[in-house]
Amino acid sequence: MDLSRLNIFVAVAETASFSGAGSRITVPKATVSRAIARLEADLGQQLFYRTTRRVTLTRAGRTLYKRVTPQIEALRQAVNTLAERQEQPSGVLRITAPNDLGTSFLADLATHFSARYPAIRLDLELTSRHVDLVAEGFDVALRAAGRLADSSLIARKLSTIDVQLFASPSYLARRGTPRTARQLDGHDMVQFRGFRGPLRLRSLGHSVVCKLAVRIVADDLSFVREALRAGAGIGLLPSFLARNDLASGALVRILPRYAAPQAGLYLVHPAARHVPSRVIAFRDFVVERLAHQPLEARA
């Protein structure tokens, strides 16, 4: 028995119209008429009384409708269930991120993401190097930067990162504590590569370009933090990363009345006509988590 004809039969029975059935299942009226005629021929029974105004079920038609309707609905539900399972994100999701996010943010995120999407296996590479997503086969990168370099990748800014100037008490005791932006000139600086460019501070609507002597450049924020703690100079750190050191006195915030350039946390993935559902799921999950617990609220 042709299931498509039975589906058309149910549509005609429920709409009492060949044209109405055609509209419901998006097929021409002529197709509906032919399907019903062939079904009646196969069964050797008239299923509908036809008038110019209305189509009604015969006794044989009512019997068939009662028998096939539950079966067709069960088939429809089975197909929908299989489609939903197919749409459920699954597979391996390869992620690269800076080391600092791995300890301060990503471990918590990965734990809760895996609980929600058990069919996805996370493969994380925490590294300070700039990873070529396409060449190395990664699905997603999380990147912290003042700004992203232009590329063919798709980038979404997830959060603004509050960045501030810090130094150790030992360095300030040795070199003095700057009280104005101009007094930063000549001080030693430890610079994170992602915060490239001249240091520009703002206060009361005015912008000042500071001329520090860059002594150390590194592509790892944890290294920058440790170098600052050791007294290597003054440097920019995300406030969430320096919070514990600030509380313990290992670091001191410099020029709190001045605003430093803000950085961003970005989610980056290769451009594709069809973005994998596991990538979309991860992107949306990160956005959701950051909305409930911003980076600045994390210890």
Residue 26, sorted as left (phi over 0), alpha (psi -120 to 50) or beta, turns out to be left
Residue whose C-alpha is closest to residue 194's, from 161, 171, 168, 166: 161
Decide yes or no: CATH 3.40.190.290 for domain 163-261: yes
Return the structure tokens found at 36. 């019903």
Third-level CATH fold of 91-161+264-297: D-Maltodextrin-Binding Protein; domain 2 (3.40.190)
Q: Which two tokens stand for residue 294?
A: 């911003």
Over the stretch 128-153, which tens digit does the pLDDT of each residue have? 788 888 888 899 999 877 666 656 78
**Would you list the domain boundaries of the chain?**
3-86, 91-161+264-297, 163-261
Give the model's confidence band at 60: pLDDT under 50 very low, under 70 low, under 90 confident, else very high.
very high
Residue-wise pLDDT tens digits, 173-216? 999 999 999 999 999 999 988 777 778 898 877 888 888 899 99
Beta strand 213-218 pairing with 188-192: parallel
The partner residues of 190 in beta bridges, in order of sequence, read 216, 235
Contact 261, 160 (CB under 8 A): no
pTM, entire model: 0.60
Same-fold call for 91-161+264-297 versus 163-261 = yes
Tokens of 271: 């451009």
Q: Which CATH number fits domain 3-86: 3.40.50.970, 2.60.40.420, 1.10.540.10, 1.10.10.10?
A: 1.10.10.10
CA distance 170 to 177: 11
> Residue 81 has what pLDDT?
62
Angle at 61 between CA 55 and CA 63, to 5 degrees: 145
